Structure 1
């Protein structure tokens, strides 16, 4: 059963995360050596995929002599355990060892699919978790090296006893419309990091003590000088770079002049439905909108589907 009317890339993870098994001492032991166990491998933050872009699951036998680094339990597919592991070494060092499978960057995998796919949800879970372990090797309380526990869902400090848990950083991303304007125009912006001509929905990290609506309003005011009067949640998307949750919203703003904060964004502008439709169809070289792997694309599709 679909939980949302909007299916975003990197969502839809089909695994049973099986929290009740994470404290089992054998979940990274005997379970991981079972014939039906499978591993998804990462090197240089790239994931091993087959020629079609799907996860190239490895058996315990194929992993036996590999230089595995961090290994975590992802969950169950049916009754079969699934794991993620890093390889000690660069993707290039492993060359054609897994051919025809190869290591690909996660966004390239999503582009290869061209649409939402259950494997992308697994990639998001695995990549986010492994990146967290890589960046949280030491206790934030006392500085001692911490240890992986609970099958990868906690790090414990053997020195001071502090526990550390994987984190997800919330980001609001919004498509805004003029108040009372029948949604005929939408507000888009471009950051300095984007290639020429590319515009997207505005976005920013939530701050402590904020609601989603307040974060949307603050970001709109900070980046464009426009005051939000209404905010509606639409959809969310895991984004494993390194581990964020994109919270997609529509917003409506008071009439006023756009005054971009050029310390944050290069430009902001209104686009009409017709301009957006042509841009999505690739007919406007000076206006390029986000590809299908981005939740900004989903928000634009929702808008364009309105009567």
Structure 2
């Protein structure tokens, strides 16, 4: 159960991950053929969903003659096993086979559902795991092709016996306020990849040997030239593109003079609560904030909730 008062999209996975069962060699064989087993299918980076945007779970019999590639155990729904599998081919090749269901990109699934939804956590788990298997076929130690073991949660090298495990890359994302301003204004920025007028919270990957607080302070210094005085953790969000954990924070800085690093971001500005509220109501034609699927929006909403 989440302890944060912020519910982020792609969190809240309802499955029992059942780690103790992963060493059972029958999990991916006999268990997967059970009548109560269900599969969520991916074609490329897209997941098969029903007309409402929710996962379309398929029985083992409906998957029997499909060209399945990697198959992993996700966990249990009650006592019933749940799996994810990739199709050998693109969504264009298989789309018509499941109509009116269709393959959707994960963020499109979230937008279709229209709110944070428990099954988005399953999408995050499945998408991250299948992407990892696709990009880690070969041993980083000796270069030989590795084998899937532990129901999909490990790859083993048959040559040098090295074990490889799924990884999640931590990213800090922060909403910053000037000390002594009563949090009436927040720092937002625009990366080079974002459209004109679109602003979000500043963010960056954590580096080895770095705490969350140190990463927040470094990013604010590097991108906006601001010195951090304190940091408060707020919430986290799985972000399966390909597999990151967004660590959302509030931060307070000394002063308001912004000096941006133009190699890092395109712009940064202080935004008042009134401006943010108007932007969320589409009352500012040249200023846009992130959609609800992003933790940046959750941080902004949390900032505004007592306004």
TM-score normalised by L of structure 1: 0.99
Partner of 2:295 in structure 1? Answer: 295
Partner of 1:4 in structure 2? Answer: 4
Q: Residue 36 in 1 paired to residue 36 in 2?
A: yes
1:115 Cα deviation (Å)?
1.2
Unaligned stretches of 5+ residues in structure 1: none
**What secondary structure sits across from 2:98 in the alignment?**
coil
**What secondary structure sits across from 1:291 in the alignment?**
coil
Structure 1 residues 58-98: Cα deviation after superposition (integer angstroms, max 9, x where no partner): 10010000000000000000000000000000100113100
Aligned partners of 2:285 and 2:151: how far apart in 1? 48
Q: Residue 237 in 1 paired to residue 241 in 2?
A: no
Partner of 1:178 in structure 2? Answer: 178
Aligned partners of 1:89 and 1:162: how far apart in 2? 30
Aligned partners of 1:210 and 1:168: how far apart in 2? 15
**What secondary structure sits across from 2:96 in the alignment?**
coil
Partner of 2:283 in structure 1? Answer: 283
> Aligned runs of 1:1-307 on 2, under 5 Å?
2-307=2-307
1:2 Cα deviation (Å)?
4.6
TM-score normalised by L of structure 2: 0.99
**What secondary structure sits across from 1:125 in the alignment?**
helix
**What secondary structure sits across from 1:213 in the alignment?**
helix
**What secondary structure sits across from 2:218 in the alignment?**
helix
Structure 1 residues 101-141: Cα deviation after superposition (integer angstroms, max 9, x where no partner): 10000000111112110010000000000000000000000
1:4 Cα deviation (Å)?
2.2
Aligned partners of 1:272 and 1:93: how far apart in 2? 49
CA contact (8 A) 2:95 2:103 kept: no
Aligned partners of 2:94 and 2:247: how far apart in 1? 37
4+ runs deviating over 4 angstroms: none
Unaligned stretches of 5+ residues in structure 2: none
Structure 1 residues 29-70: Cα deviation after superposition (integer angstroms, max 9, x where no partner): 000000000000000110000000000001001000000000
Provide the aligned length of Structure 1 versus Structure 2.
307
